[in-house]
Amino acid sequence: MQIREKLAAKGYRMTKPRQEIFNVLCHAPQSVLEIMSNLQKKKLQIDKVTVYRTLTSFVKLGIVEETQFKDKISVYELADQKHHHHVVCDTCGKIEDIELDENLLEEAAKKSSTFQIKSHHLEFFGLCRKCR
């Protein structure tokens, strides 16, 4: 479903800030600070309160997912993506999406527990190119 339809279905209008924040999030998972700086790079004047408010409604509407990493900084990314994982930079907090071949991992988890495994959460930490 398009974002415009998703908003409309819940009685929200598509506004310029909403559209622009959505566009910025299409490229990569980002923290509020990164979203702000990407909006500024595009010469868009959207204040922090609006960004927070927009993200909160996007999360509520299921358009965006919020994840907290170990330093408690929230990162936002579009919700309907293929299952994937993240690498997080220990120094600057930059995040990248990665896809893994997970068959072995799932098999191992099944074999070594008595649980019926339904989901998992896995992150990798290290140093990004800039911080090395």
- Tell me how far apart the alpha carbons of residues 84 and 124 are, in angstroms, rounded to a whole number: 12
Residue number with CB closer to Zn ion (43 or 71) = 71
Of the ranges 18-26, 33-41, 47-55, 72-80, which one interacts with Zn ion (CB under 5 A)? 72-80
- The answer to whether residues 48 and 36 touch, using CB atoms and an 8 Å cutoff, is yes
Task: Tell me the residue length of the chain.
Answer: 132
Taking CB under 5 A as the rule, does residue 91 contact Zn ion? yes
- Name residue 65's beta-bridge partners: 77
Determine the Cα angle at 90 with ends 27 and 120, to 5°. 70
Amino acid making up residue 59: V
Residue number with CB closer to Zn ion (92 or 108) = 92
Amino acid making up residue 104: L
* Per-residue x/- track, 32-71, Zn ion (CB under 5 A): ----------------------------------------
Give min distance, CB of 31 to Zn ion, in A: 12
Q: How many residues bind Zn ion (CB under 5 A)?
A: 10
Scanning residues 109 to 128, which ones bind Zn ion (CB under 5 A)?
A: 128
Strand order in the sheet with 30-31: 30-31, 74-78, 64-68
Of the ranges 8-16, 18-26, 50-58, 88-96, which one interacts with Zn ion (CB under 5 A)? 88-96
User: Closest Cα partner for 18 from 64, 66, 67, 51?
Assistant: 51
Residues within the interface to Zn ion (CB under 5 A): 29, 77, 89, 91-92, 94, 97, 102, 128, 131
